[in-house]
């Protein structure tokens, strides 16, 4: 297929281009090339490229930054999704909208399914939910893909932050009462590329399997990297942030699993990411 991937220079956009380029023709502009908050730019890009499907991965993903600048968060995450959904629907093109576990409040005692009711507790979550609703309302041929704790080999993410901090400090304190599914961008990209082969429109959760706290994740990063550093678990109340992540942000991937799409365990994914990271930085 001829795919247009918004947010093409982000973690997921890069992974889709890397993994899918053998099978698909992929155009993946970054935000400087395609501003999704500009409706005319979106329409012009779709008219010029005439893609078979759009993967809308472009977003403001700075969770704390969204709290400080809600107007920009809704312009990009809400209105941007509306522009892409409207233009894709007018052109008769299916859309994949990449969303987040932050659309849930995290109060369930189990992972959230595709059929649980969203109730965001942050501007980031609310702006992404606004994007979900716009996509669902405007383009009937839509996939809404929620994911969590995305990371890759490069850029700004939890894995690279932990490796950097471990070299700068003799001891780390990490939150241990907020949970989710650490998800490798490469595996998420692979799952999305499988999903679009199915005409199974609707909401799908796509994460690596297994659940971890931020502290669990950090400990595993250090273990697999051969780094010895004391890690002290702390409650989130001792690590104040502008945005409040869902306490239980874990997702249950019911819909994708029913199609036979199941991503590997997060331990396996993390090991592969760290190996590739070492090869890239060597």
Give the mean pLDDT of 52-63.
97
Report residue 198's pLDDT band, with 50, 70 and 90 as the boundaries.
Answer: confident
At 134 the pLDDT is 98
Per residue in 171-195, pLDDT tens?
A: 999 999 999 999 999 999 999 999 9
CA 109, 65, 202, 133 torsion: positive or negative? positive
At 130 the pLDDT is 98
- 42 by Cβ neighbours in 10 Å (0-12 / 13-18 / 19+) ranks as buried
Report residue 281's pLDDT band, with 50, 70 and 90 as the boundaries.
Answer: confident
Per residue in 213-236, pLDDT tens?
A: 999 999 999 999 999 999 999 999
CA dihedral 143, 24, 42, 184 (to 10 degrees): 60
At 261 the pLDDT is 97
Task: Spell out the alpha helix ranges (H) of 62-213.
Answer: 63-68, 70-73, 80-90, 123-138, 158-168, 185-195
Beta bridge mates, 175: 234
Mean pLDDT of the chain: 97
Per residue in 200-218, pLDDT tens?
A: 999 999 999 999 999 999 9
Give the mean pLDDT of 11-34.
96
Tokens of 153: 């080999």
Whether the per-residue pLDDT at 282 is higher than 80: the answer is no
DSSP string, 253-267: -HHHHHTT--EEEHH
What does residue 55 show for φ and ψ, rounded to 5 degrees?
Answer: -105, 110
Is 124 among the residues known to form the active site? yes
Whether the per-residue pLDDT at 123 is higher than 90: the answer is yes
Q: How many CB atoms lie within 10 A of CB 274?
A: 18
Q: How far apart are the first and last CA of the chain?
A: 34
Q: Among 124, 143, 151, 184, which one carries the catalytic annotation?
A: 124
Report residue 164's pLDDT band, with 50, 70 and 90 as the boundaries.
Answer: very high
Q: How many CB atoms lie within 10 A of CB 216?
A: 18
Is 2-156+181-210+250-264 assigned to CATH 3.90.950.10?
A: no
Alpha carbon separation from 148 to 11, 103, 221 (Å, rounded): 13, 11, 17
What is the pTM assigned to this prediction? 0.96
Report residue 277's pLDDT band, with 50, 70 and 90 as the boundaries.
Answer: very high
Contact predicate 166/227, CB 8 Å: yes
């Amino acid at each position: 297929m001829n795919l247009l991937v918004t947010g093409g220079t982000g973690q997921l956009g890069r992974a889709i281009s890397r993994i899918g380029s053998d099978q698909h023709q992929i155009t993946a502009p970054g935000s400087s090339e395609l501003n999704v908050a500009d409706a005319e730019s979106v329409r012009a890009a779709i008219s010029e490229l005439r893609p078979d499907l759009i993967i809308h991965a472009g977003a403001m993903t700075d969770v704390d930054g969204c709290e400080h600048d809600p107007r920009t968060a809704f312009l990009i995450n809400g209105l941007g999704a509306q522009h892409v959904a409207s233009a894709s629907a007018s052109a008769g093109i299916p859309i994949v909208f990449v969303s987040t576990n932050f659309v849930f409040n995290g109060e369930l005692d189990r992972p959230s399914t595709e059929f649980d009711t969203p109730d965001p507790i942050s501007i980031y979550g609310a702006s992404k939910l606004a994007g979900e609703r716009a996509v669902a309302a405007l383009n009937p041929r839509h996939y809404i893909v929620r994911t969590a704790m995305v990371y890759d080999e490069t850029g700004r993410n939890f894995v690279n932050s932990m490796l950097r901090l471990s070299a700068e400090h003799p001891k780390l304190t990490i939150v241990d009462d907020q949970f989710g599914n650490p998800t490798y961008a490469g595996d998420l990209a692979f799952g999305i590329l499988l999903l679009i082969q199915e005409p199974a429109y609707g909401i799908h959760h796509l994460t690596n399997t297994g659940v971890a706290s931020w502290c669990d994740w950090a400990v595993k990063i250090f273990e697999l990297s051969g780094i010895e550093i004391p890690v002290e678990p702390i409650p989130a109340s001792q690590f104040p942030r502008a945005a409040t992540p869902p306490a239980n942000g874990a997702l249950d991937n019911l819909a994708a699993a029913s199609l036979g799409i199941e991503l590997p365990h997060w331990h396996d994914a993390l090991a592969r990411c760290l190996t590739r990271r070492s090869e890239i930085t060597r």
